[in-house]
């Protein structure tokens, strides 16, 4: 039986540094993907990512939106779909 994919929730700082092109964060995420990890974020991470992207202005909002769409986003609601 195949082992389930490892899930990794990424912190906002990791996401922002990845978008900035930080070598250590880019390498970290590439390694996780190569190992078959499923990358996730929380709805709060996505809000913080959008806010920080807008605030620092170094990364286009569109770029952060593309990253958010590439991740599974976990809701923090108590209700389950």
Supply the CATH number for residue 68's domain. 3.40.50.1010
Residue 81 belongs to some domain of the structure: no
The per-residue pLDDT for 41 is 96
Per-residue pLDDT, 39 = 95
Residue 14 belongs to a domain: yes
Pick the closest to residue 71 from 3, 4, 2, 14 (CA basis): 14
Element at 78 (helix H, strand E) = none
pLDDT reported for residue 60: 74
Q: Is residue 2 part of a domain?
A: no
Classify residue 54: in a domain, yes or no. Answer: yes
> Based on the structure, what is the number of domains in the chain?
1
1 is a domain residue: no
CA nearest neighbour of 22 among 31, 33, 13: 13
Domain range for 33 is: 7-74
To the question of pTM greater than 0.85 for the whole model, the response is no
In order along its 81 residues, the chain shows pLDDT tens digits of 666 679 999 999 999 999 889 999 999 999 999 999 999 999 999 999 988 888 877 667 788 888 999 999 998 876 665
Gap between the Cα atoms of 17 and 2, Å rounded: 33
């Amino acid at each position: 039986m195949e082992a389930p994919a490892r899930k990794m929730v990424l912190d906002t700082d990791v996401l922002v540094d990845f978008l900035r092109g930080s070598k250590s964060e880019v390498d970290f995420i590439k390694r996780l993907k190569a190992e078959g990890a499923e990358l996730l974020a929380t709805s709060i991470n996505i809000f913080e990512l959008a806010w920080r992207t807008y605030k620092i202005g170094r990364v286009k909002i569109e770029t952060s939106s593309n990253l958010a769409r590439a991740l599974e986003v976990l809701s923090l609601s108590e209700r389950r779909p």
